[in-house]
Amino acid sequence: MKFLNFLFLAALISCDKKPETFNQKSIEENCFQIVKVGKETPKKQYLEPSKEDIIKNFPKHIHFVTNEHKNSFENVLKHNEIEIKKQQEYLKTNEYKIYFKKFYEELPEFEYLARNREFALAKNKYGLWLIEKSGNQKAKPYFLGLTQNAFVNYDFNAPNFTFLSENAVHLSGSIVKVTRLSSFPILPKYEVIKDDVEFSIPLDEIKKDSDQDGYNDLFEQFIGLNPTQKDSDDDGLNDFEDANPRYASVSSKFSAMYEAIVDETSPKTHYSFTEVLTDCDYFNQINPKNRKFLFYNTEEQIPIKEDVLDHFFSVKYSKISENKFYPNTYDIDYADQKGSGNISAEFINEKWKISKKTNLYFGV
pLDDT in tens, 338-347: 788 999 999 9
The verdict on residue 152 lying in a domain is yes
The verdict on residue 23 lying in a domain is no
The verdict on residue 214 lying in a domain is no
Least confident of 48-52, 62-66, 70-74, 111-115: 70-74
**How much is the pLDDT for 314?**
78
What 3-state DSSP class applies to 215?
coil
Pair 201, 58 in one domain: yes
Strands, DSSP E only, in the chain? Answer: 63-66, 111-116, 119-124, 127-132, 140-143, 150-152, 164-165, 168-180, 189-202, 274-277, 293-296, 316-317, 321-322, 329-335, 339-348, 351-361
Pair 155, 264 in one domain: no
The verdict on residue 274 lying in a domain is yes
Residue at which a domain ends, from 162, 188, 207: 207
Work out how many domains the chain is built from and give that number: 2
**How much is the pLDDT for 364?**
40
Pair 165, 103 in one domain: yes
Pair 191, 248 in one domain: no
**What is the arithmetic mean of pLDDT over 256-271?**
92
Pair 188, 59 in one domain: yes
Residue at which a domain ends, from 207, 229, 251: 207
Task: Report which of residues 26 and 250 the model is more confident about.
Answer: 250
Pair 289, 148 in one domain: no
Pair 150, 77 in one domain: yes
What 3-state DSSP class applies to 179?
strand
Q: Report whether 108 contacts 101 (CB < 8 A).
A: no
Pair 179, 58 in one domain: yes
**What is the arithmetic mean of pLDDT over 27-49?**
73
Structural domain span for residue 68: 51-207
The verdict on residue 298 lying in a domain is yes
pLDDT score of 54 more than 80 = yes
The verdict on residue 135 lying in a domain is yes
**How much is the pLDDT for 3?**
41
Cα 96 from chain centroid (whole Å): 25
Task: Report which of residues 359 and 91 the model is more confident about.
Answer: 91
**How much is the pLDDT for 223?**
92
Residue at which a domain ends, from 160, 191, 207: 207
Pair 167, 250 in one domain: no
The verdict on residue 348 lying in a domain is yes
Pair 252, 192 in one domain: no
Average pLDDT over all residues of the chain: 87
Pair 197, 134 in one domain: yes
Pair 197, 63 in one domain: yes
| Cβ-Cβ contacts under 8 Å for 286 (sequence gap 6 or more) | 244, 249, 255, 258, 259, 262, 263, 293
User: pLDDT tens across 268-323, in order?
Assistant: 789 999 999 999 999 999 999 999 999 998 876 655 555 566 667 878 999 999 99
The verdict on residue 13 lying in a domain is no
Which amino acid is it at 339? G
